[in-house]
Amino acid sequence: MKKLLVWGTGDLAEQFIDSGCQGDIIGFVETVKSKDVFMKKPVYGSREIPEEYDYIVIANSYGTEIYSLCIKLDIDISKLIFLYRIQSRVGCTDAAVLKEVLSEKSYDDYCIRFRLKPKPKQHPREQGDEFVYEDAEKYRKLNTRPTFEIQENNAHRIFYASTIVECFSDMILEEFSVSADGVLESHVEDIHKYDDDESDYRFGLFYFVKK
């Protein structure tokens, strides 16, 4: 069983642990150490990483910054497993190693995030929805925030953005991300600007919180 360090002590790290893994987690890493223990395991600062590990799993939304820091600190990049997309697919990309270390769910999620899985075959009645897949692909290419990545269970076909807000009127729209004219927009005051289905404002993710 491979010895693993997990870079991150936030929600993404917890999600990774909850999904299960097939390695022995010997500790966690924080870029700037803020605690000594997390999930009953020791926490190390980025400059005090122990040597007795096989791989470091980057369960953190700041993958690009961590990648640059690891180069600066002369950390072996081939031993880094990035769970979320950065500018390019770097680190350990050996499918055999990934399958050995990650749980089946984590590996499936990894393949979806890095677009290593073919698009599922469409049911005949869904063939008219091809533009949804095209818009989703545009969004994936523009998005750089792991927390706003498209997952199979958070993307649905909705014609009007304002409909989403109205359906969740008992909640507060905290943040959203919409692909528009080659960029991603967020925190736009008038959500109705996305109501025109003929425009290029058609795909987005919305994050609500309780009032």
pLDDT in tens, 27-72: 999 999 999 999 999 999 999 999 999 999 999 888 889 999 999 9
- Residue 126: pLDDT over 50: no
Return the sign of the alpha-carbon dihedral for residues 136, 137, 143, 144.
Answer: positive
* pLDDT given for residue 115 in this prediction: 75
Q: How confident is the model at residue 159 (pLDDT cuts 50, 70, 90)?
A: very low
Q: Is 140 left (phi over 0), alpha (psi -120 to 50) or beta?
A: alpha
Which pairing describes strands 41-45 and 37-38: parallel, antiparallel, or unpaired? antiparallel
- For tokens 């993404």, what's the residue? 12
What is the DSSP code (8-state) at residue 86?
Answer: -
Question: How far apart are the C-alpha atoms of 24 and 36, rounded to whole Å?
Answer: 19
* pLDDT given for residue 109 in this prediction: 83
What is the DSSP code (8-state) at residue 123?
Answer: P
Helix (H, G, I), strand (E, B) or coil at 178: strand
Tokens standing for 179? 């692909």
What average pLDDT score do residues 128-157 get?
60
What is the DSSP code (8-state) at residue 8?
Answer: -
The β-bridge partners of 44 are 29
Contact between 113 and 149 (Cβ < 8 Å): yes
